[in-house]
Amino acid sequence: MGCVNGKCCSRYPSSPDGGSDHCGELRPYKSKHILTKRSLEIVHVSSHNFTLQYSILTQLGYYQDRVESENQDSFCIKTQIQCNPNVHVFGVFDGHGQYDAQFSNFFNDRLAEILSSDSTLLDDPLKAYTSAFLAINSELHDSEIDDTMSGTTAITVLVVGDTLYLANDGDSRVVIAVKNGDQILAEDLSMDQTSFRKDEYERVKLCGARVLSIDQVEGFKDPNIQNWGEEENKGSDPPRLWIPNGMYPGTAFTRSLGDSTAEKIGVIADPEISVVKLTPNNLFFVVASDGVFEFLPSRTVVNMVAAYTDPKDACAAIAGESYTLWLENEDRTDDIIIIIIQIKALWIPVVGWWCHR
């Protein structure tokens, strides 16, 4: 999801370099899933003697009226922040509006730079994280890029030893796999920031936003019914934010960076931050743009990753399934970025001995 001016909720096709074509005859056009050139990497977290093995996939979306377009999503992976072997960052940025890619790339370029130069990062990661998001938002407002109706959502994971710090603006998502006996469970580490959430709905309403679906705006449904069901079953007509007397900006998210018009009706850049301590039962986590989760629940994504030994194969499978579901429900698909990070050989000290997974 995004804003009705530029990115409504869709685009997309592709398969690993040199791999099989997952597009098939029913796709509007064929291409390959675009994996990064260094598609499988490993970084060691020496403080707790475990490794992170990760792979990234990017997929260009499909619009009938815009076959040739730039991917609005971008990602950031920076290992050994401040030359520290125990500090790494993974992020996904989903641009929207006329200057979508410029905004997602701007955030991508600046996040690691700001965190790397912040002397308080390890003393107070939460404060440093929030400061970085707000600083980038201010820089976006002051830049030459027109942010009147454009911006980006952002979700990032800062790994510090065996602790994950998540910062989220928007509706991309982080989900972690938790081993529970013979089962592997999915646990969302972030909450989508949309008007489906009562707290976000009430906050933007206090700032003057009208919250309506497109059908409500166009008179097909009663605008006084302020209930759109559950987000998991949101379909293609979610509640959106509109100025009091106008038909814009139409953002489906309630937090983002840039979006100076939407800021006036409560869309803010302050990230929601959560902290997670890793345990031997945490197998992997996924950082992905909302193009993945529009039709795939978190539990399905985790089940798909768990079915593959190689995260590259899991990335391709998720992208292919997402693409299929988009075209079954829409006449377009969304841009996608998926980062799968496997947690290998995590040891936890327990009363004088070590627990190993």
Q: Can you give the pLDDT at residue 29?
A: 31
Clarify whether residues 259 and 332 are in a common domain.
yes
- 252, 283, 298: which is the final residue of a domain? 252
Clarify whether residues 118 and 173 are in a common domain.
yes
Q: Can you give the pLDDT at residue 1?
A: 52
Clarify whether residues 170 and 248 are in a common domain.
no
Clarify whether residues 200 and 115 are in a common domain.
no
Task: Write the CATH number for 110.
Answer: 3.60.40.10
Clarify whether residues 282 and 149 are in a common domain.
yes
Report the helix count and the strand count for the chain, using DSSP H and E.
8, 18
319 or 7, higher pLDDT: 319
Closest C-alpha to 53, from 18, 90, 105: 90
- Res. 8 pLDDT band, cuts 50 70 90: very low
Clarify whether residues 214 and 270 are in a common domain.
no
Clarify whether residues 303 and 335 are in a common domain.
yes
For residue 26, pLDDT over 50 is answered with no
For residue 48, pLDDT over 80 is answered with yes
Residue 262 parent element (H or E): helix 260-263
Least confident window among 16-20, 55-59, 287-291, 293-297: 16-20
Residue pair 254/200 in contact by the 8 Å Cβ criterion: yes
Clarify whether residues 140 and 225 are in a common domain.
no
Assess if residue 19 is contained within a domain: no
CA–CA dist 222, 186 (Å, integer): 36
Clarify whether residues 171 and 206 are in a common domain.
no
CA–CA dist 252, 211 (Å, integer): 9
Residue pair 71/57 in contact by the 8 Å Cβ criterion: no
Residue pair 335/59 in contact by the 8 Å Cβ criterion: yes
Clarify whether residues 174 and 129 are in a common domain.
yes
- 236, 252, 268: which is the final residue of a domain? 252
CA–CA dist 31, 15 (Å, integer): 8
Assess if residue 113 is contained within a domain: yes
Residue pair 121/81 in contact by the 8 Å Cβ criterion: yes
Give every strand in the sheet of 249-251, ordered side by side.
210-212, 240-242, 249-251
Handedness of CA 248, 151, 270, 296 (dihedral sign): positive
Average pLDDT over residues 343-353: 64
Clarify whether residues 76 and 130 are in a common domain.
yes
For residue 344, pLDDT over 60 is answered with yes
Q: How many CB atoms lie within 10 A of CB 351?
A: 5
β-pair type (249-251, 87-96): unpaired
Per the structure, the count of domains in the chain is: 2
Q: Can you give the pLDDT at residue 5?
A: 41
Output the six-digit token pair for 323.
């693409």
Output the six-digit token pair for 238.
């979610």
- Res. 74 pLDDT band, cuts 50 70 90: confident
Please give the share of the chain, as a percent, with pLDDT higher than 90: 64
Assess if residue 350 is contained within a domain: no
Assess if residue 353 is contained within a domain: no
For residue 72, pLDDT over 80 is answered with no
Assess if residue 247 is contained within a domain: yes
Q: Per-residue pLDDT tens for 198-244?
A: 999 999 999 999 999 999 999 999 999 998 877 655 557 889 999 99
Output the six-digit token pair for 299.
């539990």
Q: In this structure, what are the phi and psi dihedrals at residue 48, rounded to the nearest 5 degrees?
A: -125, 10
Average pLDDT over residues 36-47: 77
Residue tagged 């997670």 (tokens): 276
Q: Per-residue pLDDT tens for 286-312?
A: 999 988 998 999 999 999 999 999 999
CA–CA dist 305, 309 (Å, integer): 8
Residue tagged 């996608």 (tokens): 336
Which amino acid is it at 212? L
Domain that holds residue 242: 194-252
pTM, 2 dp: 0.85
Average pLDDT over residues 154-159: 96
Closest C-alpha to 12, from 42, 33, 36: 33
Residue pair 164/278 in contact by the 8 Å Cβ criterion: yes
Q: Per-residue pLDDT tens for 233-281?
A: 555 788 999 999 899 999 999 999 999 999 999 999 999 999 999 999 9
Clarify whether residues 161 and 243 are in a common domain.
no
- 252, 274, 293: which is the final residue of a domain? 252
Average pLDDT over residues 149-160: 94
